[in-house]
Chains A and B, each alone.
Chain A
Amino acid sequence: MIGVFYVSERGMKMSVFDILGPVMVGPSSSHTAGAVNIGRVARQVFGEKPDKAEITLYGSFADTYKGHGTDRALVAGIMGFKTDDPRIKDALAIADEEGLLIHFSTSKEGTYHPNTVRIKLSNKFQSSEIVGVSIGGGRVRIREVDKFKVDISGIYNTLLCSYPDQMGVIAKVSEILASEKINIATMSVSRDKTYQIALMVVEVDGELPDQAVNQIKAMPYFDTVKAIRKIEL
């Protein structure tokens, strides 16, 4: 077979299941399903069970979150639920039972997109923060991770590595991925304001086996290495 043919304006290959689907808890693919997916990514970036979630809603998310269940959807995603999980409706009560402390606020600040949310997750040991936008049909983009500007779609298995900026790291990571026969879909590096810390984002085609992730973790460069499992749309 030769490549991929049906590509939308956004450059993504389309499938019949983009038109009839996703199977989702309503009411809105952007305000509900997309919110679940942003929550899921936030949880994976954090990497473990959080004790506390501080959520700031912007734009249309801020205006209409209650009637769209955006609040429940975000919390459901943070707890790892998928977009079709009937428990989404009761997510706030479930979070309460599980001892997950939630704080919502809204902001009038201008930001990336009408449907934007900032999620800060924390527990006794660590915290992490992402900014996600919901672009329709349940599809999302992560635009910030711990203040680094990124552009992650979540539909690929993704590797996030932070390290004191130095030369040659990218090549080393590519080498390991190539030796594990993992094809890189996109790769980007952003740096913090001081230009000292870098965050590398690698989206890969297909699986991202633990074995490859562990090899990268074992390299001497990185402060953190996180593998984010793709969202099934």
Chain B
Amino acid sequence: MTPFQFSTVQELVEKASYEGTTISQIVAQWEVETSNLSREKIFEKMSNNWKVMKKSIEEGLQKEGQTMGGLVNKAAAHMYNAILTGIVPQDRLSKTIYKALAVAEFNASMGCIVAAPTGGSCGIIPAVLSTAQEEYNFNDEQIVWSLFTAAGIGLVIAEKASVSGAEGGCQAECGSAAAMAAAALVELLGGPPQKVATAAALALKNALGLVCDPVGGLVEVPCIKRNSFLAVNSLVAADLAMAGIPSLIPIDEVITAMGEIGRALPESLRERAQGGLAATPTGKKYKNE
């Protein structure tokens, strides 16, 4: 029997719907068939990713001092304190924000993280899923399965467009992470495969055109705060999809559009630290430091 292959999200949706299962199960099965690893082994590897993600939230929140480039100083801790003291309301939104900051800041401080899909965008998926775990009491096993759904969306994006800021701008990094997080969240919330795809489409649409212009070439500004913005973007996308609001443009077409936009971006806005925020008078001060 020829194992199942996929190159579009639609194929994942159809197969999962036909078999009455979830996209995560289809993606996990595909990984087993193409990797020579057992189902237990790949689940264990993904569980380890989840463990590192959770740890990076905790450690990122507790970490002392500035980031490596010194452009961000304990943003997550500030946000967390604002929640504790009631300056900002304690809800799904504020939790997602501080968690995304924690992971992204930890990354910029040489902490241990899971590239998801990259180092620059590593805070989005952990923040969305950890907050979901807190709010809805999902167990670790449920979350780990949802990571396969996120990865399935990411695989299609990597194949059809890109998940690298140097190739496609930040839409390819943080935009992809947001689409992946939104998809995972909808699956956790019990949304059918079609809604999972819708959430990914909505999240990615709203990140189209996002350029990569990191100040000083470092993964700090705008990257760290962008992780919290794009994590919240995933929440909105998941809510819209769960409410049954469709995306006019299907996910696979959004992905193709993202790839085209990425190729159309000038080099200076693809991680060269030569345009955008990096080229502002203030941004330039941090060049080659």
Contact A24 B5 (CB under 8 A): no
Kindly supply a per-residue 1/0 record for chain A positions 21-46, scoring 1 wherever the CB is within 8 Å of any chain B CB and 0 otherwise. 11111111110110000000000000
Kindly supply a per-residue 1/0 record for chain A positions 184-227, scoring 1 wherever the CB is within 8 Å of any chain B CB and 0 otherwise. 00000000000000000000000000000000000000000000
- Closest residue of A by beta carbon distance from B287: A63
Contact B49 A6 (CB under 8 A): no
**Contact of A16 (CB < 8 Å), options: B6, B42, B119:** B42
Which stretch of B74-82, B159-167, B202-210 is in the interface? B159-167
Contact A16 B148 (CB under 8 A): yes
Known: A26-B107, A27-B218. A16 touches B122 (CB 8 A): no
CB distance from B202 to the nearest CB of A (A): 20
A32-B180 Cα distance, complex, nearest whole Å: 24
Known: A1-B3, A32-B119, A67-B289. A20 touches B35 (CB 8 A): no
Contact A72 B49 (CB under 8 A): no
Residues of A within 8 A of B180 (CB): 19
Q: Verify if A8 is at the interface (C-beta below 8 Å from B).
A: yes
Which stretch of B26-34, B190-198, B234-242, B243-251 is in the interface? B26-34
Which stretch of B92-100, B109-117, B132-140 is in the interface? B109-117
Known: A14-B158, A16-B151, A16-B155. A28 touches B219 (CB 8 A): yes
Q: Verify if A80 is at the interface (C-beta below 8 Å from B).
A: no
Identify the interface centre among A6, A32, A33, A69: most chain B CB within 10 Å of its CB. Answer: A6
Residues of B within 8 A of A63 (CB): 217, 273, 287-288
Residues of A within 8 A of B46 (CB): 16-17, 20
Contact B27 A16 (CB under 8 A): yes
**Contact of A69 (CB < 8 Å), options: B30, B110, B151:** B110
Main secondary structure of the interface of A (DSSP, over half): mixed
Classify chain A's interface size. 35 or more
CB distance from A28 to the nearest CB of B (A): 5
Known: A5-B3, A16-B152. A23 touches B68 (CB 8 A): no
Q: Verify if A68 is at the interface (C-beta below 8 Å from B).
A: yes
Q: Verify if A167 is at the interface (C-beta below 8 Å from B).
A: no
Q: Verify if B83 is at the interface (C-beta below 8 Å from A).
A: no
Kindly supply a per-residue 1/0 record for chain B positions 15-41, scoring 1 wherever the CB is within 8 Å of any chain A CB and 0 otherwise. 000000000000110110111100000
Contact B219 A6 (CB under 8 A): no
Contact A19 B49 (CB under 8 A): no
**Contact of B219 (CB < 8 Å), options: A20, A66, A68:** A68
Residues of A within 8 A of B163 (CB): 19
Having A6-B6, A20-B116, A63-B287, one finds 13 other A-B pairs with CB under 8 Å, namely A4-B34, A16-B31, A24-B114, A26-B109, A26-B113, A27-B68, A27-B220, A29-B118, A32-B110, A64-B273, A66-B289, A67-B216, A84-B52
Interface residues of A (CB under 8 A from B): 1-2, 4-6, 8-9, 13-30, 32-33, 60, 63-64, 66-69, 72, 84, 86, 88-89, 136-138
